[in-house]
Amino acid sequence: MDRMKIIKRRLSMSLRSARPVDDSLSELAEQMALDETPGARENGETYSCRPPGNRIGIVHENVKMGSDGESDQASGTSSDEVQSPVRVRMRNNHHRRISNEDINKRLSLPADIRLPEGYLEKFAMNSPPFDKPMSRRLRRASLSEIGFGKLETYIKLDKLGEGTYATVFKGRSKLTDNLVALKEIRLEHEEGAPCTAIREVSLLKDLKHANIVTLHDIIHTDKCLTLVFEYLEKDLKQYMDDCGNIMSVNNVKIFLYQLLRGLAYCHRRKVLHRDLKPQNLLISEKGELKLADFGLARAKSVPTKTYSNEVVTLWYRPPDVLLGSTEYSTPIDMWGVGCIFYEMITGRPLFPGSTVEDELHLIFRVLGTPTEKTWPGMPTSEEFKTYNFPLYRAEPLVNHAPRIDSDGHDLLSKLLQFDAKKRVSAEDALKHSYFRSLGEQVQTLPDTASIFSVKGIQLQKDPGKRSSVHPESSKSSHDQKE
C-alpha cells in the first residue's frame, strides 16, 4: 500500500514536470518490477533499470517502456545492436535466406501478420545469427518498424464501453486485419488510473495462456496509454443473457474448467485477479473463455470504478474480505469461482446483496451462520459481533441448484468455504471428479493450447439459446472497459 502511494506521488510529480509521460510510466513500471522481484528474467538474462554504480533508488533516465512492455535496457547489449534495422550494416556473415516464418518466430509475432514491403531484407541485415539471443532494444526497433507501438497501425471502430479512467473501442489492426479491443487509459488523472494501467501492463505481458486475454500492443502518448487486446465477441454475462440464462450443463463444465485453468496459471505465478465476475470473463466465438481486466490484480486500495460496479463485484466477494480481512491470498479468487459456477448452472446470481451487511445475510441464510466449528475464531471476533446476525441453519446447496450433479455439488461446496484456508485451490479443483467426463488429455494440455484442441470437446446448443447470431452492436464484451 505504501509503495502504491509512492508510485502515485512520483507520477504526480512527473506529470507536472517537463519530462514526457512515457518516460515516467516506463520508470514507474520498472521500479515496480524492482520492488517486487530483485531481478526479473527473460531468456535467461537478468535485467534491471538501475545501472551498476548508481545509488539505490535512482532509475536510469533513458529507460522507456516499449510496445512489448519491457524496458529498453538489456545486459550485454552492444551499441550496433540498438540501431534501427534500416541503418545497420550486414552482420550475419554466414548469410541465410530469412522467411516470414523466421521473423514471426524470432519476434513472437502472429502467423497472419503482414510485414511491410522490403522488411525481410532489412531484418536480414540487422538480425544476429539465429543461434544468438536478440537484444531487447533491437527487438524493440524491429517491432516499431513493423508498426507496433503506433496509433496509426489501428483503425478505431465502435465505442464498446466507458469508465472513470478508460474507454474501450472496437478496432482493426492493419498488421493482421483482425479485430482488436483498444483500451484507452487517460493519464491526466493522478489517482488510480496510471497505477492500474502499469499493473495491468506489467502482469499481462508475462501471462501467456489460452485462458487469459492476450495483450497485443502498448501505445503511449502524453495524454493516453492505449492497450491493444485481442477482441472477443462477448463476456459470460452476455453469453448467459443470450441463452435466456439456461445453459447446457456440458457448457457449464467446459467454461468452469477453462476459468480454473486460467486461474491456476495465475496463482502459480502468485497473481491474484481480485475482481472475478461474469463481466470479466470473455467468450470467443469458438467458446474459449478468457480472464480479462487485470486492473485490480494484486493491487490493494485502488478506487472502485462506479457505484454499480462496486455492487456487482460485491456479489462475488468472499465473507472474510466482507468482514474486513486484508490478509488474503489465492483463496480470495476461489469464492468467486464458486459463485460464478452456481450462476451458470442456475441462471441467477447466488448472493446478490446491495450492501456489505445484506451480502453477509444472504451468504449466511444459505450456508448457515458461522460457528466455531464451521469458521474457527470468527464468531467471537469484534467485526462479526457488531452485525448481530440471526442464527441461520445451512441449507443443502442442491436445493438451490437442482440441475447440479453430486460431483458438481461436492466441488461447489469445496469452493464456498467460509475459512479461506479450507477452500479448494484452482490446481486441485481441475483434478476434481466433476471434470472426469472431459477425459485425461485436458490435464496435460500445454498452457497456450485451447481446450477445444482435445478431440470430442465441444459446446452443445444451450436449451435457452434464442439465436446463433452474435449481435455486432451488443454492449462490449470487454470489461477491459475500465
Asked whether residue 35 carries a pLDDT value surpassing 90, the answer given is: no
Report the distance separating Cα 113 and Cα 151, nearest Å: 17
96 pLDDT band, cuts 50/70/90, is low
Q: How far apart are CA 454 and CA 7, in angstroms?
A: 45
Q: Is the pLDDT of residue 235 over 60?
A: yes
Sorting pLDDT into bands at 50, 70 and 90, what band is 313? confident
Q: Is the pLDDT of residue 264 over 90?
A: yes
Q: Looking at residue 367, what is its pLDDT?
A: 95
**Can you name the residues that pair with 319 across neighbouring β-strands?**
none
| Contact by Cβ (8 Å): 432, 411 | yes
Residue type, 151: L
Enter the C-alpha cell of residue 301. Answer: 486500495
The pLDDT assigned to 255 comes to 98
Check residue 177 and give left, alpha or beta (phi > 0: left; psi -120 to 50: alpha).
Answer: left
Q: What is the pLDDT of residue 5?
A: 62
Q: What are the grid coordinates assigned to 433, written together?
A: 471428479
Write down all domains in the chain, each with its CATH number in brackets: 2-108+115-146 (no CATH), 151-230 (3.30.200.20), 249-277+315-453 (1.10.510.10)
Residue 171, pLDDT score: 94
Tell whether residue 156 is among the known ligand binding residues.
no
Instruction: Provide φ and ψ at 135, rounded to 5°.
Output: -65, 155
The segment with the largest mean pLDDT, out of 58-72, 150-164, 165-179, 343-357, is 343-357
Distance CA 436, CA 432 (A): 7
Asked if 197 and 184 count as a contact pair (C-beta separation under 8 A), the reply is no
More confident of the two residues 3 and 329: 329
Report d(CA 234, CA 477) in Å as an integer: 4
Contacts of 342 (CB under 8 A, 6+ apart): 350, 397, 400, 401, 412
Return d(Cα 240, Cα 308) in angstroms, integer.
19
How many CB atoms lie under 10 A from the CB of residue 139? 20
Residue 107: left if φ>0, alpha if ψ -120 to 50, beta else—which one?
A: alpha
**Residue 277 above 70 pLDDT?**
yes
C-alpha cell at 61: 533516465
Active site residues: 275
Compute the distance between CA of residue 203 and CA of residue 209 in angstroms, rounded to an integer: 12
The band of 242, judged by pLDDT with boundaries at 50, 70 and 90, is very high
Of 286-295, 323-332, 338-347, least confident by mean pLDDT is 323-332
Which residues have CB under 8 Å from 347's CB, separation 6+?
240, 244, 245, 246, 247, 464
**What pLDDT sits at residue 11?**
52
Predicted pLDDT of residue 116: 76
Q: What digits encode the pLDDT tens for the residues 420-452?
A: 999 999 999 999 999 999 999 999 999 999 999
Q: Residue 181: what residue type? A: A
Q: Which residue has the higher pLDDT, 14 or 293?
A: 293
Residue 132 CB partners (closer than 8 Å, separation 6+): none
Helix (H, G, I), strand (E, B) or coil at 287: coil
pLDDT digit string (tens) for 107-141?
777 777 777 777 777 777 766 666 677 777 777 77
By C-alpha distance, which of 392, 273, 249, 283 is closest to 330? Answer: 273
What confidence score (pLDDT) does residue 429 get? 98
Band (pLDDT 50/70/90 cuts) for residue 368 is: very high
CB-based contact 155:171 (threshold 8 Å): yes
Segment 28-50 mean pLDDT = 40
Percent of the chain with pLDDT over 90: 39
Mean pLDDT within 453-482: 66
